[in-house]
Amino acid sequence: MKRRDFISLSSVAAAALAIPGIASGGQQAAATGEATAARFKLKYAPSLSQFRNHAGSDPAAQIQFAYDQGFTAMFDNGIMNRPVEQQELIARELARRGMALGPFVLYADFGKKSFVTRDKDVREMLLQKMKDGVETMKRTGCKQALVVPGRLDESLAWDYQTANVIENLRACVDICQPAALVIVLEPLNPKNHPGLFLTRIPQAYAICKAVNSPSCKIINDMYHQQITEGNLIPNIEAAWDEIAAFHIGDNPGRNEPTTGEINYRNVFKWIHGKGYQGVLCMEHGQSKPGKDGERAVIEAYRACDQF
């Protein structure tokens, strides 16, 4: 399972539990205003394609299905690429159920040297992206937008690249902060994504401190952090004041919790204990195909949510 697939396709293969009422759950919830399963303690967020074997591809049906299973959030990496009418529909369907929308991808060009440069044309491109992101925020109500700062420049000293990233981000937050849009920077591990500038949480933390804006924070992808740093809970705690959102995925395999080495039950318990109110995007695959795989994913979240 590759990070690029999530960005380009805005889909994840995963997640849903067979609970009583699953077949008629959409009609029941719509009629009563109540879900057919208990609410999860944290805002685990399936993607808008995660339940396709149970609910099909219609976003409204996906949202209803997720709601019925006890979820209080969803995410869609590629929502900026959807037609405006569909963005607005998704926002309405989520709002009607009191569900949150996790960060969407605002900029993530893995092949381009962008934030590390002083190129004026690149700066203008980035600023236009921020303006587009603000418009997407207005339509969807999602106030967090994911940014991957692009490739590193082997010909330029590391400290100059870092300074350029900071200056470009400061220009970006000049647009985002007045609109209350938060950029969330995502470090990606170099094993799966060689050649990118941002690879570690401490690096992102230092950059956020330098930018010094409430509109520049970190999205901590725990799959990537397990590969680059491990020691998850102490490292999350060290960066806590700059973390605004999470991605979930077990390692190895980048599938649902309980399929790898990460003790997600303890991690979720710790995050819950910190009073975290944000979204945790289920950005992973599933260990089994089809409906059985979707049920296994949700069963895993039910197990890890029992703390």
pLDDT in tens, the chain (307 residues): 554 544 444 433 333 333 333 333 333 334 335 678 999 999 999 999 999 999 999 999 999 999 999 999 999 999 999 999 999 999 999 999 999 999 999 999 999 999 999 999 999 999 999 999 999 999 999 999 999 999 999 999 999 999 999 999 999 999 999 999 999 999 999 999 999 999 999 999 999 999 999 999 999 999 999 999 999 999 999 999 999 999 999 999 999 999 999 999 999 999 999 999 999 999 999 999 999 999 999 999 999 999 9
Range list of H helices, 69-155: 84-96, 120-140
Bridge partners, 220 (sequence order): 246
CB 46 within 8 A of CB 66: yes
Q: CA-CA distance, 61 to 271, in Å (whole number)? A: 30
Number of domains in the chain: 1
Residue 104 is part of a domain; what is its CATH number?
A: 3.20.20.150
106 backbone dihedrals φ, ψ, rounded to 5°: -95, -45
DSSP designation for 79: G
- Amino acid found at 173: V
Return the beta strands (E) in the chain as ranges. 43-45, 73-74, 100-101, 104-107, 144-147, 182-185, 216-221, 243-247, 279-281
Instruction: Provide the domain limits for residue 53.
Output: 3-304
